[in-house]
Chain A
Amino acid sequence: MNPHLNLKVGPFTVQVSSNIAVVLDGARLLYSDREIAPPDFVDFHISMARPSGLRGWWRPQVNFRLDGHAPFKPLPLSQALPMFEWGLNWCITSHCLDYLIIHAAVVEKNGQALVMPAPPGSGKSTLCAALVCNGWRLLSDELALLKLDGSGEVVPLARPVCLKNESVSLISGRFPQAQFGPVCNDTIKGDVAHMLAPADSVFRVEEAAKVQGVIFPRYIKGAETQLWLRSRAYTLLELAKQSFNFHVLGEQAYQVLRGVVDQSQCYDFHYSDLEQALQLFDELVDEVEPLTGQGDSQYVL
């Protein structure tokens, strides 16, 4: 059997086995405080291995497998670590139905969690990385796990933040304390590096947080920092669209989203200046009164 690594990632246990030293070393670095003793039960048995045959050594590739099943085509070996991260996203989103899962970053300060759904390229991860380097707690960079029990809470994963291209130098330049995994060049998303989750976020990974805001960020070159209210109805629709399992959970998922938008302020946000963005986000959680749950019915259309 290949060497392997056991991790506790939020509510999941994961075992990665690999015949590639770089993969295990990389995963060990990115999840430095999460290694656990071999558990009796593992949620996802993942293997990352070179294909047998030609592509094992000539322009070598790597395969991601869950129990022998390969959901993706192989990638070049140099991209093994990003592939592990993407593959783990796949494992969670295509199996877990304990939560309504939304493609969004989630950060928290003063007990107020903000959900930031956004399509790739909108600068969501950059903003998320900057926020967590600036005192916010990281719940997740990619997957918001919304509880189904009506509490309106998000369960943290505190996984590494995936940064692309210029964002890597931007964040490491502005926040020297940020720790990074190795940079992988020329992936399908460009150059990619993972910023480690801050130690405090990892320490508090069992602590869920109540959603108080839904913000759709968008980086636009040269844009002024602008924040404006978005209708709760459209916010709900967009969250459903950005969800991985809304269609499976059905009405239950609708009720969860209804609860979330009712208890939240919903905004669109455009920015180009990171400093202004950080300042505005801090003001937001100082200002917003935690709602008392009477379901404010302000709909701006």
Chain B
Amino acid sequence: MSFSACLLIEVLRTPEICRKLSLPEWDLLIRQARIATMMGRLYVLFEQNQLLDAIPREPFRHLRWGKIMADRHKASVVRELVSLRDSLVDLDEPVIVLKGAAYSGSGLGAGAGRLFSDIDILVPKAVLDGAEELLQMDGWYTTHLDAYDQRYYRRWMHELPPMRHGKRGTELDVHHNILPETAVVTPDAGLLFGRKVPLPEVDGLWRLGDEDLVLHSASHLFFDGEFTSALRDLDDINSLLKELCLLADRWSGLLGRAGELGLQYPLYLALYYCREWFALPVPDSVMAEARSQLPFGNLRLQFGLWTMNRGLLPDHESCSLYGSGLARWMLYVRSHYLKMPLRLLVPHLLHKALAPRFEHLFKSDDSTPRTVDEFLNQLGREKRV
């Protein structure tokens, strides 16, 4: 099996095996967890399975550091959500919290021990400008100041250019859909608002409906080119499926919803990998039905699985398979092609490839590189989410 290369996946699948790990194996596990940004997650998993006592002292402190960091992130995220709710109260439209912040704000298992790099929200497209204005008044400003990038986001993407808070440094993505309008599939955002659910931890905010939560997580993972924390994302999906679909046996609702939103392929991949790698008991009949919803044949599916097998593993030398580099590159190319048709993509990539070479002739580069010296002078004034 392809995942046998990765101890982290084996432990996520069967946490009890940690009792038998040697110290060199713990060494490897900690390294894989660090690169997969899953240290806090792993701590929570051991905690839930009453295994913390079985962990030797040396690896234990790394897991504990991960948990402390995750707790800090969680507290910051909830604070940010409260302040976002207050900033957007005059919008008079529902604000849906997406991804990690939604798991955390809903007390779902997928949010436990997790780190956040930004906060994502979804508002109706009609009020996107209004939302941006309200946020600007409360100290959020736009990044990507280059005129081309601004145009690119506003015209083609499903979100505003990322925003950052002037004081707290938190990053915020304001979406009006979960996939770009130029993508091969664009779900109808209205359908998503139709099934929104109140966010338990922050009054006045919403999250996606149960099935949509899973489907968005899957489409984000399998339609996105950034696979740096792919295993963490897959583990999120596994946890969501367990909590929202498995217990209540809501598979048919999930399959039906994937059809309505056009997200059959990411759902199939999500079910496939959660079953294969994490032993999630997805019934055979559900797998067969998910497979039958795909509009393409076996050859293309096998090719997809070949690349995903590699892309989903942590990007650590110990998890490298034959062709891993090529697969990651193909996934990256694929993500662009999924987002935009070629007639838009080719000019965009040309601009990105050529513009930087000439830019310096006209202006000084004020985008400061991250160097060791900056780090030393920075002294904890780092981004604080």
Contact = CB atoms under 8 A, between A and B. Distances in A.
Contacts of B22: 40
Interface in B22-73: 22-24, 26-27, 31, 34-35, 56, 58-59, 61-62, 64-65, 68-69, 72
A250 to B, nearest CB: 7
A75 interface: yes
B126 interface: no
A89 B35 CA distance: 19
A42 interface: yes
Interface stretch (B248-256, B282-290, B365-373): B365-373
B316 A68 contact: yes
B31 A86 contact: no
Interface residues of A, number: 38
A7 to B, nearest CB: 15
Contacts of B58: 41, 43
Nearest to B369: A73
Interface string A64-88: 1011110111010000000100110
Contacts of A90: 372, 375
Given A41-B26, A96-B65, A245-B380, A68 B372 contact: no
B361 interface: no
Interface string B368-385: 011111011101100010
A154 to B, nearest CB: 18
Contact of B24 (A40, A242, A250): A40
A242 B379 contact: yes
Interface string A119-134: 1100000000000000
Nearest to A246: B380
A70 to B, nearest CB: 10
A87 B372 contact: yes
B65 A86 contact: no
A43 B72 contact: no
Nearest to B372: A86
Nearest to B373: A188
**Chain B interface category by residue count:** 20 to 34
B35 A68 contact: yes
Nearest to A87: B372
A167 interface: no
Contacts of B34: 66-67
A120 B316 CA distance: 35
B315 interface: yes
Counting chain B CB atoms within 10 Å of each CB, the highest count among A97, A103, A120, A247 belongs to A97
Contacts of B375: 71-72, 86, 89-90
A72 B371 contact: yes
Given A41-B58, A250-B72, A244 B26 contact: no
B35 A120 contact: no
B69 A67 contact: no
Interface string A37-71: 00011110100000000000000000010111101
A119 B378 CA distance: 10
Nearest to B320: A68
A247 B384 contact: yes
Given A40-B27, A244-B380, A72 B372 contact: yes
A112 interface: no
Contact of B315 (A40, A68, A241): A68
A166 B375 CA distance: 24
16 contacts: A40-B22, A40-B24, A41-B23, A43-B58, A45-B31, A69-B35, A71-B375, A72-B375, A89-B375, A103-B379, A120-B376, A243-B379, A243-B380, A244-B379, A247-B384, A249-B68
Given A98-B61, A120-B376, 13 more contacts: A40-B24, A41-B27, A45-B31, A69-B35, A71-B370, A73-B370, A86-B375, A90-B372, A95-B62, A98-B65, A103-B379, A247-B384, A250-B72
Question: Nearest 6 CB-CB pairs, A to B?
Answer: A40-B23, A86-B372, A41-B58, A97-B65, A188-B373, A244-B380
